[in-house]
């Protein structure tokens, strides 16, 4: 099913979520009505796919910043302990050659193969992420997405009621926090926050499960019991009927709603094929004001 607004076509790619946005160059200045169409499609479909884009870092930052200010990445081995607005997902070093599999950056990036929501370990979690393909392997290296909104809506009413009001503790690190060498010690201690297990999109009032690898305990439950429940909910969200697998093409850009989706990288031959994608992360707003109206525009 496709819908057309202005010059843009919105084409659904999955029964529950995901749409391709056709007819827009996201690297160019954008009209207000075109941005409004994209914003409405984002809230409806949760994940937007843009083909044949021509982003460089400057234009990717400019497009992403139309939705809200950008997060600065936490320092970690994957960005050489030098954080910025662009996070590079790659198996290549600065010289363009393959990194050894035991390189700290490669070990850190392997965490992206766990189901997660970006920046859920922050007091105000991320609104969205935008990942643009710069180099894609011919085989593998896909990204999986799961609709935690569709999963929530498929739950029996009594199960939803049991989850309402639960609060999860989110950490930046793995559960084995003491042995996690991927972050500075002060960042580990600072990025431990709580969020509701059921999260509501203030634009349309639709609920979603807010789980994934960073959600590690339930407040008021024994740690093991809470972790087991969160693992069960993540497994439920990532059943095949709620999952879309994106096979990257050159020039692809994918934007996803971190409030109601999970995602993970999938493996490929890191010693044979080159892969490089650049990510921007769009900051969220406080829960009571989180994009209740369309954000302001920077382009006329």
Per-residue pLDDT of the chain (300 residues; tens, 9 = 90+): 566 555 899 999 999 999 999 999 999 999 999 999 999 999 999 999 999 999 999 999 999 999 999 999 877 777 777 889 999 999 999 999 999 999 998 988 888 999 999 999 999 999 999 999 999 999 999 999 999 999 999 999 999 999 999 999 999 876 655 555 555 565 555 578 999 999 999 999 999 999 999 999 999 999 999 999 999 999 999 999 999 999 999 999 999 999 999 999 999 999 999 999 999 999 998 654 333 333 444 332
pLDDT at 48: 98
The kind and range of the H/E element at 40 are: helix 32-45
Angstrom distance (rounded) from CA 133 to CA 251: 6
The kind and range of the H/E element at 263 are: strand 261-265
pLDDT at 189: 57
Stated pTM of the model: 0.90
Torsion of CA 95, 246, 110, 148, to 10 degrees: 140
Instruction: Strands of 31-112 (E only): list them.
Output: 47-50, 87-90
Torsion of CA 300, 58, 173, 192, to 10 degrees: -40
Task: Kindly provide the b/e burial profile for residues 182-199, where b requires at least 16 CB atoms within 10 angstroms of the residue's own CB.
Answer: bbeeeebeebbbebbbbb
Question: Could you give the domains of the chain?
Answer: 2-289 (3.60.130.10)
The kind and range of the H/E element at 37 are: helix 32-45
Are β-strands 261-265 and 143-147 bridged in parallel, bridged antiparallel, or unpaired? Answer: antiparallel
Q: CB–CB of 192/169 below 8 Å?
A: yes
């Amino acid at each position: 099913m496709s819908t057309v607004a202005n010059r843009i076509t919105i084409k659904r790619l999955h029964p529950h979520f995901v749409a391709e946005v056709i007819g827009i160059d996201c690297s160019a200045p954008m009209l207000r009505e075109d941005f409004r169409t994209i914003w409405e499609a984002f809230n409806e479909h949760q994940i937007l796919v843009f083909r044949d884009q021509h982003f460089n870092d400057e234009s990717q930052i400019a497009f992403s910043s139309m939705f809200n200010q950008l997060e600065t990445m936490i320092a970690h081995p994957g960005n050489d302990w030098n954080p910025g607005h662009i996070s590079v997902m790659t198996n290549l070093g600065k010289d363009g050659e393959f990194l050894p599999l035991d390189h700290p950056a490669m070990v850190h990036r392997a965490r992206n193969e766990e189901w997660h929501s970006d920046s859920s370990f922050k007091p105000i979690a991320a609104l969205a992420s935008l990942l643009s393909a710069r180099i894609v392997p011919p085989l593998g290296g896909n990204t999986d997405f799961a609709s935690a909104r569709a999963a929530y809506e498929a739950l029996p009413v009594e199960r939803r009621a049991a989850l309402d009001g639960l609060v999860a503790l989110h950490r930046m690190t793995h559960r084995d926090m003491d042995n996690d060498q991927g972050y500075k010690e002060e960042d580990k201690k600072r990025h431990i926050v709580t969020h509701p297990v059921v999260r509501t999109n203030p634009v349309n009032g639709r609920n979603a499960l807010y789980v994934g690898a960073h959600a590690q305990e339930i407040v008021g439950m024994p740690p093991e019991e809470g972790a087991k429940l969160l693992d069960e909910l993540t497994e439920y969200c990532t059943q095949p009927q709620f999952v879309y697998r994106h096979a990257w093409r050159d020039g692809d850009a994918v934007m996803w709603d971190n409030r109601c989706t999970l995602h993970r990288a999938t493996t490929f031959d890191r010693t044979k094929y080159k892969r490089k994608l650049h990510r921007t992360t769009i900051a969220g707003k406080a829960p009571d004001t989180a994009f209740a109206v369309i954000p302001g525009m920077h382009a006329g």
